[in-house]
Amino acid sequence: MAAAPEWLTHDYIEHALSSYYKDSNLRIVKLEVNPALGPGENYGGVLTRARVQFTLSQEPEAILKQNLIVKTAIEDDELTKELMEPYDIFNREMTLYEEVLPKLTELLKETDAFEPLFPTAVFVDRERSAIIFEDLSVAKYVMADRVKRLDKEHVHLILRKLAKMHATSAVFNERNAGRLETYDRGFFNRYTNAYSGYFVGGLLAAARWMTQEPECAPYAQKLFELAPHYMDIGRECFEPISDSVNVLAHGDVWTNNVMVKYDAATGRPEDILLIDFQYSFWGSPTIDLHHFFNTSLREPLRREEQGDLFSFYHRIFTNTLRQLNYKAHPIPSLHEFQMQAEQKRFFAMHSAVVVQPVMISEDSTDACFNALMNDDERGIRFKNRLYKNPIVQQNLKALMPMFDRKGLLEVNQCC
């Protein structure tokens, strides 16, 4: 479990809260700092929970309480920092929370269906690559179970918020001279192959497991042959579609990157907020959908109802675009949107074969960013274990024939 950064001190948090409340005389009277997540729960940064009691100058006798989540970069591993540097994830996410996401919220207020989409950042520190948020657990938001995955009620809530985020980002980009088009560093991008250890390494681990399963052995050989071309295919898949509605994609939509609020009486989900925008990029909205559907949905929802889910999303996405008078490109019909989803379906295969095994793993042995990203002995051992999970095996046995029929295992495929 990652320890809190050494600089995350009483004085630091006092300064952050003083800035947020615009009160230089704010004083912390009690502070507790603890890790927020354990091994295998998050690979993109360090999350720390801070429980604070403090006073304000207007009422120095009144003790206020606030719970915070501090998100910081991984600091204790030079190789990890080297691999993440080309993605510039922390600077880009800080800019989003400071300058872009609040604007998307304001745009959504122009529609007849406003609802909050994101948490609010309390403090942004570019020097230390840190963002402080109000702890959503105080408002009864929690993470859903990443291993059990999500049912249709959860999925509809997430798709509704995601569609509104996508639509408002397209309008923001239209009204701001293409400002979001500089976000071109998603998981696959033209600047780096830094994540090939994870992506290609995971593909090869899947192939090694498939060689031991008679019904999957034919697909194993195709994956071995696909591996040298894999990063290039991914880059092509992430290219925006010309003359179409592109958006600021979240980039990493899955169970742990949404917070869910449940009805206390029924236990049913009633709201969600989208979090973690480190890998946001400008491109097709269908990439987010492929990633979400193939990492986070329960079976058989993932296998049997994706067509209906694409349609559900499309209705909200296009309605929001129309309400905001979007004109930059023709708003796609459902048929056109489904065709675009087929263009980008490589990412569905990638998310199912390489990413989901990491996300639903319950084995925390070697579960760290370094092992995920590297192809040394430890990294290979970690990835091989992912495919010993019976749920992963069952899913891939069902999905590989479909991916094969769609040509997603071919070396000459084109997204």
- Domain check: are 87 and 32 in the same one? no
Identify the pLDDT of residue 40: 46
Asked if residue 415 has pLDDT above 80, the reply is: no
Report d(CA 70, CA 16) in Å as an integer: 11
Report d(CA 228, CA 245) in Å as an integer: 31
* 139, part of any domain: no
Confidence of residue 86 (pLDDT cuts 50, 70, 90): confident
3-class SS letters over 71-119:
EECCCCCHHHHHHHHHHCHHHHHHHHHHHHHHHHHHHHCCCCCCCCCCC
At residue 34, the 3 state secondary structure works out as: strand
* 313, part of any domain: yes
Q: How many domains does the chain have?
A: 2
- Domain check: are 61 and 171 in the same one? no
Q: Which two tokens stand for residue 53?
A: 């009691």
> Cα separations (Å) of 52 from 10, 22, 24, 296, 319?
9, 17, 17, 33, 42
Please indicate whether residue 252 or residue 75 has the higher confidence score (pLDDT): 252
Identify the pLDDT of residue 85: 84
Expressed as residue numbers, the domain containing 346 is 82-119+148-405
pLDDT digits (tens, 9 = 90+) for 255-306: 999 999 999 999 999 999 999 999 999 999 999 999 999 999 999 999 999 9
Listed in sequence order, the residues at least 6 apart from 371 whose beta carbon sits closer than 8 Å to its beta carbon are 378, 379, 381, 382
pLDDT digits (tens, 9 = 90+) for 367-414: 787 888 888 899 999 999 999 999 999 999 999 999 999 999 999 986
Please list, residue by residue across 356-378, b when 16 or more beta carbons sit within 10 angstroms of its beta carbon and e when fewer do: bbbbbbeeeebbbbbbbbbeeee
At residue 281, the 3 state secondary structure works out as: strand
Radius of gyration of the chain, Cα coordinates, nearest whole angstrom: 22
Residues in the chain: 415
Which amino acid is located at 90 in the chain? F
> Cα separations (Å) of 193 from 198, 236, 250, 345?
10, 13, 20, 21
Span of 70-79, 114-123, 368-377 with lowest mean pLDDT: 70-79
At residue 241, the 3 state secondary structure works out as: coil
- Domain check: are 112 and 68 in the same one? no
Identify the H or E element spanning 340: helix 334-343
* 415, part of any domain: no
Span of 21-30, 76-85, 125-134, 149-158 with lowest mean pLDDT: 76-85
* 411, part of any domain: no
pLDDT digits (tens, 9 = 90+) for 166-217: 999 999 999 999 999 999 999 999 999 999 999 999 999 999 999 999 999 9
- Domain check: are 30 and 114 in the same one? no
* 201, part of any domain: yes
Report d(CA 302, CA 309) in Å as an integer: 9
- Domain check: are 38 and 182 in the same one? no
* 1, part of any domain: no
Identify the H or E element spanning 230: helix 230-237
* 202, part of any domain: yes
- Domain check: are 88 and 156 in the same one? yes
Identify the pLDDT of residue 182: 95
- Domain check: are 24 and 95 in the same one? no
- Domain check: are 197 and 329 in the same one? yes
Please indicate whether residue 351 or residue 83 has the higher confidence score (pLDDT): 351
Identify the H or E element spanning 404: helix 390-405
- Domain check: are 110 and 47 in the same one? no
Which amino acid is located at 325 in the chain? N
Residue carrying the six token digits 């090694």: 208
CATH code for the domain of 271? 3.90.1200
Report d(CA 68, CA 94) in Å as an integer: 17
- Domain check: are 356 and 296 in the same one? yes
The phi, psi pair for 246, rounded to 5°, reads: -95, 165
Span of 81-85, 228-232, 343-347 with lowest mean pLDDT: 81-85
**What's the average model confidence in pLDDT over 228-243?**
96
- Domain check: are 25 and 154 in the same one? no
Asked if residue 1 has pLDDT above 80, the reply is: no
The phi, psi pair for 266, rounded to 5°, reads: -100, -20
- Domain check: are 258 and 393 in the same one? yes
- Residue where one domain finishes, among candidates 53, 72, 91: 72
* 133, part of any domain: no
